Structure 1
Amino acid sequence: MAVEYDFDGAVVLVTGASGALGSAIAEAFDAAGATVCAADIVAPSDDDALVDSSAVEFYETDATDEDSVRDTVSAVVDDHGRLDALCNIAGTWRGGDPIEDTDVSEFDMLFDVNLKSMFLASKHAIPHLRETGGAIVSVSARSSLEGGEGDGPYRASKAGVRLLTETVAEENLGELRANAIMPSVIDTPMNREMMPDADHDSWVDPGDIADVVMFLCSDEATVTSGAAVPVYGEA
């Protein structure tokens, strides 16, 4: 049975909205009646953007730069008078090298894009989300649950997302909710290009993950905060 959500009147900020997962989440919230504010360094008009420009109001944002994030959150609240949900979707993956062969610039990039972006957006959104009793959903990863060969900095950055999510939930108990989702490989054009010989049928569609994100932002999930929710199909 399909579940329908009503976000009419809600204002939702989605970082990384031009990517495959971010665009699916943005368009799902738009279809549910929300005002969707898309934050990304890639504009919807760019050839690499996947988001439907008619579904969002775009705010050019460098999610790793505090001034840029602060300005975006302030602009969203100024433009719409409120903020009801923050979806921290900006992120990336790199892997392949053991620790001793990993360049520090790659380490810094992964922590900036995956963890710092989540920290900055949450930091500046929390005061506004407290006013609406809102919700934050961030993207961790299944692989963050254990160490592994070749992509340690990625796993560590995503483990940090889980721990910061638990911290935000604890610090704002009764005022807002914060949860994380844990995907494995998502069925995106980029992943198919990177792994052409993989079993694509076992990958999870971004639209299915968007449904979970909407649930976590909805009134149906008011008793759920501080959770790390698997979104990788069968364990």
Structure 2
Amino acid sequence: MTVSFDFDDKTVLVTGVGGALGSAIAEQFLAAGATVCGADLVSPDDGEDFLLDDPDRIDFYQGDFTDESVVEETIDAIVEEHGGLDYLANIAGTWRGGDPIHETDASTFDFLFDVNLKTMFLASKHALPHIQDSEGAIVSVSSRSSLEGGEGDGIYRASKAGVRLLTETIAEENKGTVRANAVMPSVIDTPMNRDMMPDSDHSKWVDPADIGDVVVFLCSEAASVTSGAAVPVYGEA
């Protein structure tokens, strides 16, 4: 069955738009007719580090979303340019791990909580007043691994658990106005993950485009009764 969505006259902000997952989600929203605004620390001029094909199709804003002033200025600029903001996809994030807690540098804690959780908090904080006006939706990226502890990447897991809990909080605080949901990938099939795990069975990993389908669905009217959910997007992993 083919499923299609119509996001004509709707504006979405995708953070981390230059990454493998962010670019795939931007492509899905573009295919649905949305006006896509993308934000990232890297720019289209950074070559292989920016994975979105033909970035001229989006309204791109370069900036560090761990800096509240940058987030506020970016969202204000989007609203001024497009007359509002309907959806936010909090995709910016990364993974670090390998060491047990007693051998983990505090800088790793700061880095992961900044990139994975603080960006989600700041983008949601400044987007919410506008998304409340449009009665839109926010979708953020948590992780399957956030559901339990594990060896070597506890800080990453904790930061993604924070994303899930903030999602539930936003949903509770905005009942009937803004829907907030999270997706929980397992291992995403990205170039970085293939480089880190070359001997894994990549066929069981989840395709970023498939996660994009779920994100678009969660923003659509088809998910009008869904808020505060953490949706598994595990593939076969």
Specify the alignment match of 2:57 in structure 1. Answer: 55
Residue 92 (structure 1) shift: 0.4
**Which residue of the partner structure matches residue 27 of structure 1?**
27
Of residues 162, 165, 173, the one that matches 1:163 is 165
Correspondent of 1:76 among 75, 78, 84:
78
Structure 1 residue 150, shift from structure 2 partner: 0.5
- Mean Cα deviation higher: 170-179 or 37-46: 37-46
Tell me which moved more, 90-99 or 41-50.
Answer: 41-50
2:182 corresponding residue in structure 1: 180
Distance between the aligned counterparts of 2:44 and 2:136, measured in 1? 26
Map residues 76-95 of structure 1 onto 2, 5 A cutoff: 76-95=78-97
Are 2:18 and 1:41 equivalent residues in the alignment? no
Q: With structure 2 as the length reference, what TM-score do the two structures score?
A: 0.98
Question: Aligned partner of 1:196: which letter?
Answer: P
CA distance in 2, matches of 1:2, 1:191: 29
**Separation (CA, whole Å) in 2 of partners of 1:25 and 1:46:** 20
Counterparts of 1:1-235 in structure 2 under 5 Å?
1-47=1-47, 48-52=49-53, 53-234=55-236
**Preserved contact between residue 205 and residue 236 of structure 2 (Cα < 8 Å):** no
Where structure 1 has 5 or more consecutive residues not aligned to the other structure, the ranges are: none
Q: Does the aligned pair in 1 maintain the 2:17–2:52 contact within 8 Å? A: yes
Distance 1:234 1:206 in 2: 13
Q: Distance in 2 between matches of 1:136 and 1:44?
A: 25
Q: How many corresponding residue pairs? A: 235
Query: Is the partner of 2:98 in helix, strand or coil?
Result: coil
Q: 2:112·2:156 contact (CA, 8 Å) conserved in 1?
A: yes
Amino acid at match of 1:62: D
Contact 1:27 / 1:55 at 8 angstroms: preserved in 2?
no
Aligned-partner Cα distance in 2 for 1:226–1:194: 32
CA deviation map 1:10-33 (0-9, x unaligned): 000000000000000001101111
Distance in 1 between residues matched to 2:233 and 2:184, nearest whole Å: 6
* Alpha-carbon distance in structure 2 between the residues aligned to 1:115 and 1:70: 17
Distance 2:44 2:15 in 1: 13
Distance in 1, Cα, partners of 2:56 & 2:234: 29
Q: Distance in 2 between matches of 1:75 and 1:51?
A: 22
- Give the whole-Å Cα distance in 2 for the aligned partners of 1:149 and 1:188: 22
> CA RMSD, aligned part only?
0.8
Identity %: 72
CA deviation vs aligned residue, 1:108-162 (integer Å, no higher than 9, x gap): 0000000000000000000000000010000000000000001000000000000
Rounded to whole Å, the distance in 1 between the matches of 2:236 and 2:197 is 20
SS of alignment partner, residue 12 of structure 1 = strand
Contact between 1:83 and 1:129, CA under 8 Å: does it hold in 2?
A: yes
Deviations 1:18-56 (A, max 9, x none): 000000000110111100000001112321100121331
Task: Give the TM-score taking structure 1 as reference length.
Answer: 0.98
SS of the aligned residue for 1:198 comes to coil
Residues 206 and 236 in structure 2, CA contact (< 8 A), matched pair in contact too:
no
In structure 2, distance between residues paired with 1:98 and 1:176: 39
Question: 2 CA distance for matches of 1:128 and 1:232?
Answer: 32
* AA at the equivalent of 1:38: G
Q: What is the deviation of 1:234?
A: 4.4
Q: Which amino acid aligns with 1:17?
A: V
